Amino acid sequence: MNIVTLEDALTLDRRDARDLYSRYINPGIASLVHLLDIDRNFVRARGVSVWDDGGQEYLDFLGGFGALNAGHNHPEVQDAVRKVAETPNLLQIALSRLAGALGQSLAAITPGGLDRTFLCSSGSEAVEAALKLARASTGRTHVISTENAYHGLTFGALSATGREHYRAPFMPLVPDFAHVPFGDLDALERELQRLPAAAFIVEPIQGEGGIVVPPVGYLRGALDLCHQHGALFIADEVQTGFGRTGRMFAVDHEDVVPDIMALAKSLGGGVAPVGACIATSEVWERAYGSRDTCMLHDSTFGGNALACAAALKAIEIAVRDDYAGRAATLGAHFRERLERIAGESKIVRDVRGKGLLLGLEFGEPPIAKGLSREYFAAMFASILLEDHHIITAYALNATNILRLEPPLMVEEAQLDAAANAIEQVSRHYRSVPGLVLAFGRRALGRQLPHFGVHRP
């Protein structure tokens, strides 16, 4: 077996890439992607656009699951990384000036008194750090999360994640976690009364849960309940942060100041993997405020120079270019277009979300209920990609929801192009069964050559 050089890897075509992925990475994912026909050999990207090896342009309305607020390969973020290319990237014996600067920038843009930051490389790591911090700070172990939540797939984050599909194969998970219905303050209060809790962790808007916006006042009420019962309030802003929902952070819609916040995704400017857990000084000091405790939680790659440079520039761009304001204004325009489509469509049932974190909910007629529940949004996304060159995907915990998360530097004309494509697919196929049957014919046509059968 030979190694593959970078130069060789860059010459692989679509079929070779799929074969290697199936053989050495994850055959199940490779098979599903091939069935849905959503893989392409993408070779270039900038802003909202990506291009395949045939020169075809696609509009990316998936946006790296919220990691591409600044778009693909933002030149300023790339230049920031190049500026530190010759500095030590990992040198743990010295205090990083870039890490300290990033901490100050995060303290400047996050709500209230959040001013102590732990740097890491992903959203799951940020959530792990938040959970450990809450337990160490309060001396309690019980953690409350919400049903249908998605906080990541490492053991602590998975214990907080609220879907059994992901949890069941790995039981027993971290003990002392409970889940209550999202948006239900009475249920949260009952759980807070049942056991002394270290923390309540919540997404201000559930992303993978189906772009679910809670009732007005829910976040404020949850914060007040937590503090009444001596529990900390953890906001998971991994997907909703840095302007995505029309405010810099989604908790800002209710002027909520969390005790701890988990951040990642667009913090890296779409170029570097960066995560952060930021807390108040009071919470931090109780957990890690002495020389004996200051190194109880750490990360080898957290605060590396390349990641910090990307994050510093990403924050600068988000503030300077008013990404939150753009998401509010453009999101309102896009939502209006989508709601008009939903009002006329027999396929689209509802539009949900805030800013440019939006979801389309599809109907489920009885004759196609099971199939549409599990795969219809994926089928719709496949046809959008093949026929209209729009990249989207479904929500992991709500597979009948098509998620729409374009980069926040998107232009109104690009939003209109996506809306037009969605409208054309909805009108052309007219019903869920009609689209399912059309997709089935396409999928069968893609599979026939594997059995030595070719369409006439």
- pTM above threshold 0.75: yes
- Residue 174 covered by a domain: yes
Model pLDDT for residues 252-294, shown as the tens digit of each residue: 999 999 999 999 999 999 999 999 999 999 999 999 999 999 9
DSSP secondary structure letters along 61-77:
SSHHHHT-TT-BT-HHH
End residue of a domain, out of 320, 338, 357: 320
221 and 113 co-located in one domain: yes
Cα–Cα distance measured from residue 311 to residue 155, given in angstroms and rounded to the nearest whole number: 26
What pLDDT is recorded for position 387?
92
What residue type is assigned to position 371 of the chain?
Answer: L
- Residue 21 covered by a domain: no
Model pLDDT for residues 166-194, shown as the tens digit of each residue: 999 999 999 999 999 999 999 999 999 99
146 and 178 co-located in one domain: yes
Cα–Cα distance measured from residue 272 to residue 289, given in angstroms and rounded to the nearest whole number: 29
Indicate the helix (H) or strand (E) that contains 129.
helix 123-138
- Residue 26 covered by a domain: no
Q: Coil, strand or helix: which one is 191?
A: helix
- Residue 235 covered by a domain: yes
280 and 239 co-located in one domain: yes
What pLDDT is recorded for position 20?
92
46 and 117 co-located in one domain: no
End residue of a domain, out of 320, 350, 380: 320
What pLDDT is recorded for position 374?
64
Cα–Cα distance measured from residue 392 to residue 385, given in angstroms and rounded to the nearest whole number: 8
What pLDDT is recorded for position 372?
46
Q: What is the CATH number of the domain that holds 347?
A: 3.90.1150.10
Cα–Cα distance measured from residue 431 to residue 181, given in angstroms and rounded to the nearest whole number: 32
What pLDDT is recorded for position 456?
42
255 and 358 co-located in one domain: no
Going by their DSSP bridges, the two strands 393-395 and 390-391 should be labelled as unpaired
What pLDDT is recorded for position 445?
62
Which of 84, 14, 59 has its CA nearest to residue 312?
Answer: 84
- Residue 25 covered by a domain: no
- Residue 12 covered by a domain: no
144 and 268 co-located in one domain: yes
- Residue 7 covered by a domain: no
The range of the structural domain enclosing residue 189 comes to: 75-320
156 and 189 co-located in one domain: yes
383 and 258 co-located in one domain: no
Model pLDDT for residues 103-122, shown as the tens digit of each residue: 999 999 999 999 999 999 99
Mean pLDDT by 10 residues, the chain (456 residues): 91 89 89 80 95 95 96 98 93 88 98 96 98 98 97 97 94 97 98 98 96 97 98 98 98 98 97 98 96 92 96 98 98 97 90 97 63 72 93 88 96 98 88 75 61 43
311 and 328 co-located in one domain: no
Which of 307, 374, 276 has its CA nearest to residue 84?
Answer: 307
Identify the burial level of 217 via C-beta atoms within 10 angstroms of its C-beta, where 0-12 means exposed, 13-18 middle and 19 or more buried: exposed
End residue of a domain, out of 269, 292, 320: 320
Cα–Cα distance measured from residue 382 to residue 410, given in angstroms and rounded to the nearest whole number: 22
Contact yes or no for 266/314 (Cβ under 8 A):
yes
Q: What is the CATH number of the domain that holds 151?
A: 3.40.640.10
Question: How far is CA 349 from each of CA 362, 384, 400, 425, rounded to the nearest angstrom?
Answer: 5, 18, 10, 14
Q: Is it true that the peptide bond before 88 is cis, omega within 30 degrees of 0?
A: no
Chain-wide mean pLDDT for the chain? 92
- Residue 284 covered by a domain: yes
289 and 383 co-located in one domain: no
Tally of structural domains, the chain: 2
156 and 207 co-located in one domain: yes
